[in-house]
Each structure stands twice: as C-alpha cells, then as structure tokens.
Amino acid sequence: HNIDSGAVGDPNKFRGMMGTQGQFAINERWNFGWDVLLQTDKNFSNTYNIAKYNAYVHQSSVYLTGLNDRNYFDVRAMHFEVQEDTPNENAAARSGQQPWVLPSLDYA
C-alpha cells in the first residue's frame, strides 16, 4: 500500500508500508515463519486501517520451532512497534522506547 500526500518539500511525500506473513513446514517436526511490518512512518497502517497491521502495538517476529516427542525448540527475534501519531520529539511518545528482542531461545 502507498499514499502520496503532503506539501512540496514534505519529507513524508511518499508514504507506504509493506507487511508480510508466512509459515513453512520444513518437515513434520520443524516450522519456520515470520510476521513483519515495515512502514515509512510509525502509524501508517493504523491510520489507514490496513487489516492485520492496524493494531496500536504491532509485534514483528521471525521464528524457527521444532517439536519431537518430549523435546521442544523455539528461537525467535521480535520487534515491537507502537503505531501512534505523537511526534518522536514529544516526551510522551512511546514508539522510540520499544525494544528489539535479540534472538530468544527456548529448549525443553
């Protein structure tokens, strides 16, 4: 999706987003998948109510999961994005405070 808007010289003249989701069953034990949102400004998908990407807080993630008998393996990386219209310069803005979660590994 993309929208052309703004006055001449507006740094956000081109606005858009790319969202992708997928899951692959590598075999009967392993799954690989993702849910990723990329956008030109922090509230594009929320403003235009784009299905599956319009939540106030979106969690992007990439993962690999395995299950065998009593063993479980899960590794994933995550990023949280607050889709707000508060400018980043405002002390009340939450989007700049959201973490990147380095790969998390669970094995049992």
| Cβ neighbours for 70, distance < 8 A, ≥ 6 positions apart | none
Q: What is the pLDDT of residue 100?
A: 75
In the chain, what are the domain boundaries? 2-9+18-107
CA dist., res. 58 & res. 54, Å (int): 8
User: How confident is the model over 23-78, as pLDDT tens digits?
Assistant: 999 999 999 999 999 988 888 888 888 999 988 888 999 999 999 999 999 999 99
C-alpha distance across the termini of the chain, in Å: 41
Q: Is 17 helix (H, G, I), strand (E, B) or coil?
A: strand
- Supply the pTM of this predicted model: 0.73
Sheet holding 57-68, edge to edge: 2-4, 14-25, 30-39, 57-68, 71-82, 100-107
Give the pLDDT band of residue 10 (cuts 50, 70, 90): low
Q: What is the pLDDT of residue 7?
A: 56
Run of H or E including 47: helix 44-47
Q: What is the pLDDT of residue 20?
A: 95
Q: Are strands 57-68 and 2-4 parallel, antiparallel or unpaired?
A: unpaired
